[in-house]
C-alpha cells in the first residue's frame, strides 16, 4: 500500500522541462540547443538521457553555444526554462539519468522533497539512488563540482596536500639528483 500524498506529490505534471531528442537535419534546432545549454546538467547525464556518446554530447553542446551567440532566442528559452523549473522536474531528471550522477536540479529537488516531509528512504526510492546519497546531499557532502557551472571544486586538503607536496615550495630529493647524475655518466660509458 502506498501513501496517497506520496503519489500525488511525486507525480510529474506537464511542465517546461522535457527531454529533447536531437532533431534531424533541416529541422529547427532552437529547442534542442536550449536543452543542451541548461545549467546543472552534466555531459554524462546528456549521454545517458540521449543515448549518445560523450563526444557526441560535447559536439552538440559546442554547436549549441555557437548557435546561441547568433540567436538570442536560444538563451531566452534557457532562461525561461530555468525560471520555471520545479522539484518535480528534478525528480523527472533523476529517473531519466540512467547510471549518471544526479543533476544539480535533482539535488535541489531532494532538499525540496525533504522539506515537504518525505523520509530519506522514500526520496531515495523515488530518485533511484541510495539513502546514503540522499543523506550526503542533505548534509552538503559530495560537492566535487560547482552546482551550475560544473567547474571542479577541490577540498582544502586537495588544494594543498599534506606531506612533501607543499604549494610554493618545490623540493627535490638529493637521492634523485645523485641518481640522475650517475645515469647521465653511465650513458656516456656504455659500450655499443
169 pLDDT tier (thresholds 50, 70, 90): low
Q: Which residue has the higher pLDDT, 127 or 143?
A: 127
CB 91 within 8 A of CB 8: no
10 Å CB burial of residue 157 (0-12, 13-18, 19+) is exposed
Kindly report the backbone phi and psi dihedral angles of residue 145, in degrees, each rounded to the nearest multiple of 5, phi listed first.
-125, 145
Contact 143, 152 (CB under 8 A): no
pLDDT value of residue 125: 94
Domain spans of the chain? 4-154
pTM score: 0.66
pLDDT digits (tens, 9 = 90+) for 9-60: 444 344 546 778 888 888 888 889 999 998 888 888 899 889 999 999 999 9
Amino acid at each position: 500500500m502506498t501513501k496517497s500524498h506520496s503519489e500525488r506529490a511525486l507525480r510529474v505534471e506537464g511542465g517546461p522541462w522535457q527531454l529533447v531528442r536531437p532533431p534531424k537535419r533541416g529541422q529547427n534546432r532552437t529547442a534542442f540547443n536550449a536543452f543542451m545549454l541548461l545549467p546543472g546538467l552534466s555531459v554524462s547525464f546528456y549521454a545517458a538521457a540521449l543515448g549518445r556518446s560523450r563526444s557526441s554530447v560535447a559536439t552538440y553542446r559546442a554547436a549549441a553555444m555557437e548557435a546561441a551567440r547568433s540567436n538570442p532566442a536560444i538563451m531566452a528559452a534557457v532562461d525561461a526554462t530555468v525560471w520555471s523549473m520545479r522539484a518535480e522536474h528534478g525528480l523527472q531528471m533523476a529517473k531519466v539519468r540512467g547510471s549518471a550522477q544526479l543533476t544539480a536540479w535533482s539535488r535541489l529537488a531532494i532538499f525540496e522533497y525533504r522539506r515537504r516531509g518525505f523520509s530519506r528512504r522514500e526520496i531515495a526510492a523515488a530518485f533511484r539512488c541510495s539513502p546514503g546519497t540522499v543523506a550526503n546531499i542533505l548534509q552538503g557532502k559530495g560537492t566535487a563540482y560547482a552546482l551550475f557551472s560544473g567547474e571542479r571544486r577541490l577540498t582544502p586538503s586537495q588544494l594543498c596536500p599534506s606531506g612533501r607536496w607543499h604549494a610554493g615550495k618545490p623540493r627535490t630529493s638529493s637521492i634523485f639528483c645523485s641518481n640522475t647524475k650517475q645515469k647521465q655518466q653511465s650513458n656516456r660509458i656504455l659500450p655499443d
